[in-house]
Chain A
Amino acid sequence: MTTTHTEHKPTQVTGHTRTGGDVVFSIVNYSFFILLAVLCAYPFYYLIINSVSANDLSALGDVRLFPQGFHLSNFEQVFHLQGLPMAAAVSLARTVIGTTATVLASAFLGFMFTQERMWARRFWYRFVVITMYFSAGLIPLFIIMKNLGLTNNFWVYVLPFVVQPFFIVLVKTYVEGMPRELQEAAEVDGASVLRVFFMIYLPNMTPILATVAIFAAVTQWNSFQDTLIYVTDQSLYTLQYLLYMFINQANSLAQAAQNAGGNLGALADAASTQTPTSIRMTVSVLVVLPIIFIYPLFQRFFVKGIMLGAVKG
């Protein structure tokens, strides 16, 4: 965030330049941004207040500005929905495993591609980077995945994401900015390349790896298309996919709602009985909450990521 602050600002408005037009402009400008911020933030707020309001009220669409009949039992109840605990586990697993794999591979390859002694280094570097600019297309990819046995396979969520040219370029650029002497000194002491990587470079790459990690994690968590194309096995559905089904399949959802309510027996009164609306809202909030929490904390990494990308572009 700090990177985007401008330095020249304070001097620009002081003095005699403040005219009536300026004041009007400022009012319009501030109002415009308040409006934009509300347009971006309110939908999230709307989902959240509906997920914690009485379910009979949220089903009528009466919860608009503040939660009504506040309760948190939805978040416990949705986990009784068939398939949801599994989908949450799959989403979590692919995010953790996929992100770890992407980060380690990007760090390693970014480092290795700076090793000038490597056989045909330039060729292999281009071999990897050029894949950013073409794609065989959805169907050939689907057929190949099928031939490789990766359809209906958890690893389809991880393996295609391991080698990511863009991240490798980011890391390589970063490593090139680190002092070469680090490696030379260690090698004089007899350290192998792997040792140099793990003991010296990896621990000193954390700023760039944090950026890579946060992008990779968001991509993994949000991914929907790969489930749609490569997966029919319900035990491999992700939260995103389940949410999509919940939005479109009102009938099966009502059924699911009944089952979820049944598990709770006496507790189920009108305010806490699951409705299609309450289920959709609650699952949406489950899906979006990690992003909302993580995003402001890591915003500077996101910003750094796009800046580094821009330098390259």
Chain B
Amino acid sequence: MSSPVVVTEAVTTTLDHTPDKKGRVRADKPRRKTSFKLFLLISPFLVLSFLFAYYPLYGWVYSLYDYKPALGLSGSEFVGLQWFRLLVSSPTQVDQILQVLTNTLAISFLGLATSILPLLFAVLLNEVKITRFRNAVQTLTTLPNFISWVLVYMIAFSLFSSTGLVNDVLLDSGLITTPIKFLDTDQHVWLSMTLWSIWKGLGWGAIIYLAAISGIDPSLYESAKMDGAGRFQTMRYVTIPQLMPTYLVLLLLSVANLLNNGMEQYYVFQNAFNKEHIQVLDLYVYNIGMTGNSLSMATAIGMLKSLISVALLFSVNAFAKRVRGQSLV
């Protein structure tokens, strides 16, 4: 657009505020200059945004090569769609990817199924009348949200490893004679991962509903009371229905994120025993790419995942637009 005019006048901004219709041609230049100067001021940040969000998309071309880091892209062999074909044709690969997809979707659906819990938490906490008690509960239950998954794993390790607290207590009380393997096991992996997510996120997830409850029109409660509604009926017929729109928005957003479980939680909890059932897509991409050195295959899978996720987001958004008349994002 505007050519890089050398800024000679110190103050050009004030001219902007005196648009003169007749002197338009003269006023245009400084205004354009200001306009471009404003852009230049943010351009370093746009470069950062480009580098870390857009430029990596170029990395998708690595999925068309047999990329070897030592050789560089130019030294690596171009293999076309070989990796994508392998994904659907090689029996071992198909087995593996199906298992990974099953894990991903199972954990995601358990997440969807338990997504109502923060809402119920909020509705019940709202029935607590002692403010101090309520605040204390809120503070303590939101704390886990602010620690890292490494620390969650540390907690899991000290409480549930074979020498951990829970086994110690059970052994001391004579309920068991050999330690239960809570962590080094392939049993209930999906469930225990979901439980840890709930432990970490329940209190925090409830905050949004608590705020929504405080925004409910008090007259609704008054008329419910006039109609003789008791405590449970008020919860059932006033509070919960009023929270449903918020719940549905969050639910739709998590549908859009079906494939994005993230990898940190599963990475820290993974071990030789539970590997088969804990590998979600994000972790699988890391495992084959960074540990297994199949960078190109990992790129291909990651790319498909990203495309499907964006498509999901668009669909969910379009759905929301039609149903609510308002888009999500």
Contact = CB atoms under 8 A, between A and B. Distances in A.
A99 to B, nearest CB: 15
Interface stretch (B20-28, B97-105, B145-153, B184-192): B145-153
Nearest to A242: B150
Given A19-B230, A124-B39, A7 B214 contact: yes
Contacts of A37: 136-137, 140-141
Q: Is the interface of A mostly helix, strand, loop or mixed?
A: helix
Contact of A112 (B38, B51, B56, B127): B38
B129 A1 contact: no
B13 A292 contact: no
B290 interface: yes
B16 A117 contact: yes
Interface stretch (A155-163, A171-179, A256-264): A155-163
Given A33-B128, A134-B310, A187-B14, A4 B207 contact: yes
A243 B165 CA distance: 19
B108 to A, nearest CB: 17
Residue in A115, A143, A194, A221 with the greatest tally of chain B CB atoms within 10 Å: A143
B141 A137 contact: no
B164 A4 contact: no
Contacts of A136: 53, 56-57, 59-60, 302-303, 306
A54 to B, nearest CB: 17
Contacts of A135: 53, 56, 306
Interface in B121-167: 121, 124-129, 131, 133, 135-144, 146-151, 153-155, 157-159, 163-165
A140 B51 contact: no
A137 B149 CA distance: 20
Contact of B158 (A46, A109, A134): A46
A122 to B, nearest CB: 12
A117 B147 contact: no
Contacts of A39: 199
A131 B306 contact: no
B168 to A, nearest CB: 4
Interface string A87-128: 000000000000000000100110011010111110010011
Given A127-B46, A139-B299, A163-B45, A1 B154 contact: no
Interface stretch (A73-81, A205-213, A265-273, A302-310): A302-310
A313 B249 contact: yes
A136 B146 CA distance: 26
Contacts of B213: 4, 6
A154 interface: no
26 contacts: A7-B214, A10-B129, A12-B225, A12-B234, A17-B230, A22-B230, A26-B127, A40-B199, A61-B168, A119-B2, A134-B309, A138-B302, A140-B58, A141-B59, A143-B62, A184-B17, A187-B13, A187-B14, A188-B17, A224-B264, A225-B264, A247-B154, A287-B148, A299-B138, A299-B142, A313-B329
Interface of B: 1-2, 11, 13-14, 16-17, 31-32, 34-39, 41-42, 45-46, 48-49, 51-60, 62, 67, 69, 121, 124-129, 131, 133, 135-144, 146-151, 153-155, 157-159, 163-165, 168-169, 199, 202-204, 207-208, 210-211, 213-214, 216, 218, 221-222, 225, 230-232, 234, 246, 249-250, 253, 263-264, 267-268, 282, 285-286, 289-290, 295, 298-299, 302-303, 305-306, 309-310, 313, 328-329
9 nearest CB pairs, A to B: A140-B59, A137-B302, A136-B56, A222-B148, A131-B53, A118-B38, A4-B210, A8-B218, A119-B39
Interface of A: 1, 3-13, 17, 19, 21-22, 25-26, 29-30, 32-33, 36-37, 39-41, 43-44, 46-47, 50, 61, 64, 105, 108-109, 112-113, 115, 117-121, 124, 127-128, 131-144, 146, 148, 159-160, 162-163, 184, 187-188, 190, 192-194, 218, 221-225, 228-229, 240-241, 243-244, 247, 277, 280-281, 284, 287-288, 291-292, 295-296, 299, 302-303, 306-307, 310, 313
Given A109-B42, A137-B285, A140-B299, 20 more contacts: A4-B211, A8-B218, A12-B231, A32-B124, A33-B125, A40-B144, A124-B46, A127-B49, A131-B49, A135-B53, A136-B53, A136-B303, A139-B290, A139-B298, A140-B57, A144-B58, A163-B52, A188-B14, A247-B150, A277-B158
